[in-house]
Structures are given as structure tokens and as C-alpha cells.
Structure 1
Amino acid sequence: MDTPSNQSTNNQRYFTVWRWHFYAGMFVAPFLIILACSALGMLFMSNTAGRDNDRLTVAIPESTVRAPVATQAKNALSTLPDSTLIKYIAPRDTDTVALFQIKSADHDNMVAVNPYTADIVASRPANSNLYYTFDSIHSDLLLGKFGDYLLETAASLTILLILSGWYLWWQKRKSIKAMLIPNDTAPNKKKRSFIRIIHATLGSWISMLLLFFCISGMAWAGVWGERVVQAWSQFPAGKWGVAPVPVSIDHSQHQAGMDMDNADAAPHVHGSTPAVVPTHGSVLNSGTAKEVPWVLELTPMPVSGTTMGKDGIAPNIPIMIDTVDRFAREIGFNGRYQLNLPQGSTGVWTISQDSMSYDMKSPTADRTVHIDRYSGNILADIRYDDYNAFGKFMAAGLALHMGTLGWWSLLANVLFCLSVIAMCVSGYVMWWQRRPRHASEYRGLNPPARGQRFTVWWPLAIPLLAVAIIFPTAIIAIVIIALLDFLVISRVGFLQRLLK
């Protein structure tokens, strides 16, 4: 039986959580709107022009015989003086272009080539179309590390926002069914706000997916992702017997670039060790775009010039871009795949195909193969089954996150983004509807139960703080806000009127 005392306590707890939910929502909602809008832009661009115009089409000749990749690459290199070939991306379909990334001292271009005639179809700076603009906004708000920190903080607080939102809506509905499908028997029917029903019910439906998106998105972020989770999820350096021990090689007889011939003898190896060991991310990512599967980004790269590896290109076959392309097809790479050329004396040929790069739909088909540039041996053949548990979660999760699983996935992502925007806008509408009707009473944010002071309800506060501690930027933000409240806001009348 609810006594007046119990009702008062319950109301105090409800308003305490509501105020926290309100303040967190005011901070988080603008970021969620930006993330949702930029995600819609990325979905549109990746499924129309593609990230680098890889969806440009060409006429298919009767012979359907493609020009040698080396010929296509030579024409691509001719568009930029003194350039080096970095990457070849095979055509997505029989009627789409091949892509070549070429670099000079001052330029980094992506060149689209007709794979049948080797004619240049288009050339533009790499990472320069609208997709990458939306991607940069989605990643760091165009503010670099500071923007990355802001978005990670917003995502961390969104998790706490979801938990507090569940509590608030549960207290009103007392039934999961009523939380998802409000009906005429719901309590306080006459007092319900239509906007609140939209906000809370929509939140109930998408909250689990939003929680999933926050966690998978933060795994790329600079603090929780790179410093906490990703750092412990990389492959050990010697997993495939190819520890990345840098070497000093006499490569006078070997030519770096697209037409490196295999020498008869193995290069001479000396034991020199540079200070920094290259990782998959530092070698294969171009610009700020994430092109390497999450679990591999911080994993050290194998090196050429050792006696490691086996079952690669036959010793009597010269190692050049056409033979590596043919070998990639022989070992199972079909359709669009990416071939990174060796850079430097210890660089390797890297053949890769993954859903995160829009190469194919299934994340379980992810594969990365490294080939020694001198011996032709396979140094590593990394597949989805080799990933650890969180690596598999990220591979599958990012495919869902990016809408690469097919049209149903794309449509689901569009509906999700629109729902997030609607939920955030409805939250602001509710705040506007709650404002005092008289201008003289309207001051500041007007939070719930304005002017009242509540004690901390520890049964809920402790779980929320425990979750916050898991995500460092959330607990940092909470500590900063608490210090500001104690040292500044509570001592300055204007700020008290504005915020409390």
C-alpha cells in the first residue's frame, strides 16, 4: 500500500532521475541529430556514387577481355607526374570501373579506369567526395581529436540516457507491453502528452539498437576504443609465425612499385630494429578514413625479406601486379577486392576484402592476405574465424552499423536514423511545451522540479556510475560537471537561475 510518505519518496526519486535525464538529453541530443544526419548522408553516397566513384559504369565490349592491370595502372600513373602506385581496387561488377590510388609528393589521387580499354574515366583527390565529408563529421565533427572526444562523451552519456529513460517510462507504464504499445488502459490517460508518447515509445523501440550503435561506434573512438578495448583485441605479433621484426635488406636488384620481379635469391637480412613498428592501420588506412577491419587496425604488419611464410606464388613466376592479381583470384578473391602494393624495402603485398570497405555484404567473409614481396610466400592469411570474440562482434556490428548487409539493412538504417532525429526533436518539443506561460516566469532551461533540491538515490546512482566508469569519457564529464556545479554554478546567482 502506497502511503503519502512512500508516494513522496517515489516522486522524489522520479524527479531526480528525470532531471538527470533532462540535462543529459539537452547535451546529447544535438550530437545525436548530427550523427544521424551525417549517417544518412553516408548511406546515400555509398549506395549512389560510392566512396571513390567506384560505382561509375562503363560499356562492356563484346570480347569482355580486360586490359592487363599493369596497363591500367600505367595509364593511371600518367595522370599525375612523379607518382607512385599505392593501391588497386578491382571492379565491383562487370560494368564498373577499376580504381587506382596514386601518390606524389603533393597529391593523393584516386583514378577510375575502364578495365577493358584502360582509358581514364575520372580522377580526383582521394577521400574528397561528399561521402568523406559526411564521414569526417560523423567521426570527429571536423574538429580532429577534440571532436572525437566530444562524440565519444556524447555516446557514453547516451548509454546512461537510455538507462534512465527506461526507468522513467517503466515508472509510468509498469509493463513492457505498455512501454512498446501504449493503449487506452494506460494510467494518466487524460494527462498524457502525444509528443511524450512519441518520444518515449519510439525510445523504447530503438533503445537497444541505439545502445548497440553507441558501443560499436565508441569502439572506433580514441579513448574507450583505441586505448581500452581495441588495444587488448589486436592479434599477437607472432600469431602466424611472422613476428614483425624489421630488417635491413640489400634490395638493389629489386624494384619497388607495380612491377617488382622476384629475385632468384632471398635478400640479405640484417638485424636492425627501428623505433616504431608499423601497424595495419598506419600502413593501410589512407587519410582519416577507416579502411582496415577493426580488430586488425592496431595489429603489427608482417614484413618482407624473411624466410617465413609458405604456399604462395610459385618461385618461377615473377611477382608483379598482374601475377598477384591472378593469384588473388586463384585463392578465392572474387569481385571487388583491394590490393595494397609494398611500400618500402620491407613492405608486403596486401590482398583484402571486407564488408566495412563495401567490398561485399557478408562480414563473415572478411579476409586479409599478406605476401612477401621477394619470395612470394603467404605471410598471413587472416579470416573472420581468426578474429577474437569482440573482433567478430565489431565485424558483424559495423556491417549492421553501416548498412552493408543488403537493401533490408540499408532501409533499417534509414528508419533508425529518422527515428533518432524524431526522438531528439520530440524531446525539445516537450521541453518547450513545459515552459512557463508567463514571460516573467521564464528563466533559463527550466528543468523538471525547478528550484527543488533532491538527495542522491544511490540504488540507481551506483549502477549508473558503474556503467559510466566503464566508459572513461562519461565519468570524466560527470566529474567535471559535478566540480562546476560545486565550485561555480552553486555560487553564482545568474547561473543558478539559468540552470536550476
Structure 2
Amino acid sequence: MNKRKAKSFYITMWRWHFFAGLIIAPLLFLLTISGIIYLFTPQIEERLYADYYQVEAEGESIAPSEQIDSVLNHYADANITRYRPGEVEERSAEVHISLQDENLIVFVNPYNGSVIGEQPEHQRFSTIIKDLHGEFMLGTFGDRLVELAACWTLVLILTGMFMWLPKNKNTLFGVLIPRVRKGKKIVIRDLHVVPGFWISGGLVFLILTGLLWTGLWGTMAQNLATNSGVGYPPSVWVGSPPESNVKTKEVADVPWAAQNLPVPASDMNGYVPVSIDDVVRTANEMNIHPTYEVIYPSSKEGVYTLSAFPPKAEDEATIHIDQYTGQF
């Protein structure tokens, strides 16, 4: 490549880099701030909802079914959708209900069944920050916007790396170490280029792992992982269980690899539905991480879904339990 073509190509890369940064910088800033906040959501909610979360340990807790009966006594027309036992003795239980087209979280004292308070699900801090970080609170359009910003960030990094490539391979200054004793223009350039090189690898990792959660690219990757058996525990099913057309991510917040697994159907053959006490007992016997929640069946053919989404990936679990036989 002659000098004229090389210079022209460099200018083209510079323009792509400049306009990509100009367009997506506000979105990246919002994603960065919301991502940092999302990272500390459990600690933030511990303070925000201390009055709802904290209870005094009073010996043995009452059965989950009794806690739910207490909620139904307060909300007679409610439908139970989820139940989350407290993970420590001083933590309240959560009962999610659907009442008059509104989804509420009811906090219950697990020792006496008293209702501590309620909160609309869409107003919960974790729900708001998750929607902000995942889709800019704009639904599907916002999800596509986040995905577009992530992809253009890759363009930003690739064009930046091209312009970073050193012309003089005999020096580290201006390449791996900023030249702080040169003129103002060079210092500003190096303070952008050199740190950009050092963080580019981590940034690419964040983008690629973040894209796995998006609606378009992420769904295709999830389908590929599901069809190839990646992340699908072989011991979950024995034989070929009946499957529905509902995806697991539509009924619960679950680990990435389990999102597109089909939710099985319960066997209704003359069985009486198991109780929530049986489901919780099963979860405890299987040593599921105590932050799990139980998602109720949405129909007569539906299943109970146990979903544990703790801080450590090795503790994650997604288990479907037949609502009639109790088998998983």
C-alpha cells in the first residue's frame, strides 16, 4: 500500500472512530452508570427496603403455605405467582401476587405470618435499574438500541486499535506508556490512546458477554447453546418429558444458559397438586441456594419452577417440578 492510500485509509478509520464515539458515547455513559448501580443492587435494596426485609427471629418459622394463606386473607381475590423464602433467619419472605391487573410483592414475617408491607413490582429498585440497563426503559426498541450501541463499541475499539498500531516499534512511549513531558496535544492524545489500549481487552469481554443477554444476537446465541446442550444438565430429565412452547425465561429470571429451555408440562393423570410446602421441602433437600424463588404454574398443565440466581455462577439452578407428581 503506497503512502497516499495508507493515509486515505487512516483518515477513513479515524472518521469511523470519531463518529462511532460521537454517536454512542451518551449511550455508553448511561450503560456504564446503570451497570455499576446494578452491580450493587442487593446492597442498595438492603438499605432501601430495610423495613420490609428485616424481621426478628422467633424460633421456628411457620410453613410456607401458612404464610401464603395469611397473604390471601389480606388480598382475597389475589392469585399467587411467586414465593421467595428468606435466605437468612432475619429476612422476610416475599409473596408475589397478581391482583386486579397489578403485580404486587407482599413481604411476610415468616414466624407469625403477619404482612409487613407491599410494593408494586414495577416500582422495585432492581426492576427499574434492570430495565434501564437492559433496554433504557424503552421495551424492545430500547433492547435493540442497547445491542446497537454494543456493536458500535466494537467498531470503536477496532478502529482505535488500528490507529494505535505503533509506527516506531523501537519505543514504548506513546504506545504503552503516555508521553507526559511532550506538548499538550501529544499528552492529550496519549492519555486517550494508551489507557484505551490497556482497557480494550476487558471492554471487549464485557461487550461480548453483555450481548449474550440481548434480544436479537443473544437469543440466537442462546438457541445455539440450548440446541448443542451447553449448560443443560443431563440429569434434569429422565426419558423424554412432555414439553410446552413456553421458554423458561418467560416465567422466571434464570441463568443465561437456561433461558431458552422449554418449560415442560405437568402430568395431570388423576393426581392431586402438590403443595408449596412440598416444593420448598424439595428445594431444601436438593440444597438449592437459599436465594431461590418458586414460580407457580401458570396453568393446569404448568410446572413449579425453582430459580436460584445467586452471586456465584456455580450456585445457579433452574429446576422444573411437576405440580402433580412432585417429580423434577
TM-score, normalization by structure 2? 0.86
Q: Is the 8 A contact 1:244 1:300 kept in 2?
A: no
Counterpart of 2:306 in structure 1 is 351
Q: Is the 8 A contact 2:56 2:90 kept in 1?
A: yes
262, 273, 278: which one pairs with 1:300? 262
Distance in 2 (alpha carbons) for counterparts of 1:94 and 1:221? 36
Give how far 1:219 is off: 1.7
Q: Deviations over 1:188-230 (max 9, x none)?
A: x33644433332233222222221121122222222122x322
Q: Deviations over 1:223-248 (max 9, x none)?
A: 2122x3222222579x73344346xx
Give how far 1:293 is off: 1.8
Distance in 2 (alpha carbons) for counterparts of 1:176 and 1:216? 31
Q: Give, as a single letter, the amino acid of the residue that structure 1 aligns with 2:319.
A: V
Q: Deviations over 1:386-418 (max 9, x none)?
A: xxxxxxxxxxxxxxxxxxxxxxxxxxxxxxxxx
Distance in 1 (alpha carbons) for counterparts of 2:93 and 2:155? 45
Q: Is the 8 A contact 2:254 2:318 kept in 1?
A: no
- SS in structure 2 at match of 1:14: helix
Q: Give the CA RMSD over aligned residues.
A: 3.0
Does residue 47 (structure 1) correspond to residue 43 (structure 2)? The answer is: yes
Change (3 A) 1:292 1:346: same
Counterpart of 2:247 in structure 1 is 279
* Segment of structure 1 superposing worse, 64-73 or 192-201: 192-201
Q: Which has the higher contact order (CA 8 A, sep 6+)?
A: 1
Distance in 1 (alpha carbons) for counterparts of 2:207 and 2:143? 13
Change (3 A) 1:26 1:334: closer
Q: Is the 8 A contact 1:173 1:179 kept in 2?
A: no
354, 363, 375: which one pairs with 2:325? 375
- SS in structure 2 at match of 1:301: strand
- SS in structure 2 at match of 1:85: strand
Q: Deviations over 1:466-492 (max 9, x none)?
A: xxxxxxxxxxxxxxxxxxxxxxxxxxx
Change (3 A) 1:122 1:52: farther
Distance in 1 (alpha carbons) for counterparts of 2:128 and 2:167? 42
279, 289, 294: which one pairs with 1:324? 279
Identity of aligned residues (%): 31
113, 119, 126: which one pairs with 1:131? 126
Change (3 A) 1:133 1:361: closer
Give how far 1:334 is off: 4.1
Change (3 A) 1:361 1:150: closer
Give how far 1:184 is off: 6.2
Change (3 A) 1:162 1:50: farther
TM-score, normalization by structure 1? 0.58
Does residue 335 (structure 1) correspond to residue 290 (structure 2)? The answer is: yes
Distance in 2 (alpha carbons) for counterparts of 1:102 and 1:39? 29
Distance in 2 (alpha carbons) for counterparts of 1:333 and 1:304? 22
- SS in structure 1 at match of 2:69: helix
Counterpart of 1:472 in structure 2 is none
Counterpart of 1:213 in structure 2 is 206
Q: Is the 8 A contact 1:41 1:131 kept in 2?
A: no
Distance in 1 (alpha carbons) for counterparts of 2:47 and 2:15? 42
What number of residue pairs does the alignment pair up?
319
Quick check: which one's strand share is greater? 2
24, 27, 37: which one pairs with 2:20? 24
Change (3 A) 1:377 1:173: farther
- SS in structure 1 at match of 2:183: helix
Counterparts of 1:6-155 in structure 2, within 5 Å, are 8-49=4-45, 53=49, 56-61=53-58, 64-155=59-150
- SS in structure 1 at match of 2:45: coil
Give how far 1:322 is off: 1.4
- SS in structure 1 at match of 2:96: strand
Q: Deviations over 1:106-153 (max 9, x none)?
A: 221111112222222221111322332222121222222222222211
Q: Is the 8 A contact 1:52 1:129 kept in 2?
A: no
Q: Deviations over 1:275-315 (max 9, x none)?
A: xx112122x13xxxxx12222222211111178xxxxxxx9
Change (3 A) 1:56 1:245: closer
Distance in 2 (alpha carbons) for counterparts of 1:43 and 1:37? 10
- SS in structure 1 at match of 2:304: strand
* Segment of structure 1 superposing worse, 6-15 or 115-124: 6-15
Does residue 232 (structure 1) correspond to residue 229 (structure 2)? The answer is: no
- SS in structure 2 at match of 1:81: coil
Q: Give, as a single letter, the amino acid of the residue that structure 1 aligns with 2:207.
A: C
Q: Is the 8 A contact 1:60 1:95 kept in 2?
A: yes
Give how far 1:76 is off: 2.3
Distance in 2 (alpha carbons) for counterparts of 1:321 and 1:352? 14
| Structure 2 stretches lacking a partner, 5+ long | none
Q: Deviations over 1:18-70 (max 9, x none)?
A: 11100111111111011112223323433221599598211223xx2112111
Q: Is the 8 A contact 2:289 2:308 kept in 1?
A: no
Distance in 2 (alpha carbons) for counterparts of 1:318 and 1:301? 18
Q: Is the 8 A contact 2:82 2:294 kept in 1?
A: yes
Distance in 2 (alpha carbons) for counterparts of 1:229 and 1:28? 24
- SS in structure 1 at match of 2:151: helix
